[in-house]
Amino acid sequence: MERNLVNDFRRLLELVSGECIPCRDIDALRRELQGILTREKCRTAACSHHALVKQAIAGISLESAEPSEANVGITGADALIAETGTVAVVTDVGCPRTLLFLPPLHIVVAETIQIVPDLASTLEIIAKRTTPWSSFTLITGPSRTADIEKILIRGVHGPKKLCVLLLESPPSP
């Protein structure tokens, strides 16, 4: 993985008030996840069926909840876009759209190998999916909007906080 893509993704995500935490291995990722859940006082979670999510939450005590009742939504990602600091998530049976918007905190677990340069690369990845899906969502930071007086408000149309736990992918042979 090109180090500049990782740095660009992280820098641009943080520029829009997202958080990106690099993790050297799955144990470090679990520790970071547990720390966030403790810090944010999360007791209920809605989790996608993504394989990396299942690995990440293994051994962590969380009560399962519907997205509308959960303190946190935990998903994987289909791609991370370096040029904008954007997370791309395909919704399907294992990851309903409401999981991305209803919990006040959205935690994404992903690998550095998933970082691509641009949207065109992301669309190529999504076009190659062989399993049924309903939509894909591009997430650039936590939800934010402004009222008529241009006062910025977070969390009106989605999560107030977005955190990406970024697992270092093993080097390519």
pLDDT at 143: 66
As a whole number, mean pLDDT of residues 39-66 equals 94
Residue type, 18: G
pLDDT score, position 145: 67
**126 occurs within a structural domain:** yes
pLDDT tens string 21-34: 999 999 999 999 99
| pLDDT tens digits, one per residue of 116-132 | 999 999 999 999 988 88
Asked whether residue 173 is assigned to any structural domain, the reply reads: no
User: Domain containing 130 — which CATH number?
Assistant: 3.40.50.10420
Range of the domain at 148: 3-167
What backbone phi and psi angles, to 5 degrees, belong to 100? -85, -20
Does 84 fall in a domain?
yes
Enter the DSSP assignment of 71: S
Strands 105-111 and 72-75: parallel
Number of structural domains in the chain = 1
The confidence score (pLDDT) of residue 130 equals: 81
In this model, does residue 1 exceed pLDDT 90?
Answer: no
pTM for the full model?
A: 0.90
Residue 172 maps to a domain: no
Give residue 129's pLDDT.
85
117-142: buried (b, 16+ CB within 10 Å) or exposed (e) per residue?
eeeebbeeeeeeeeeeeeebbebbbb
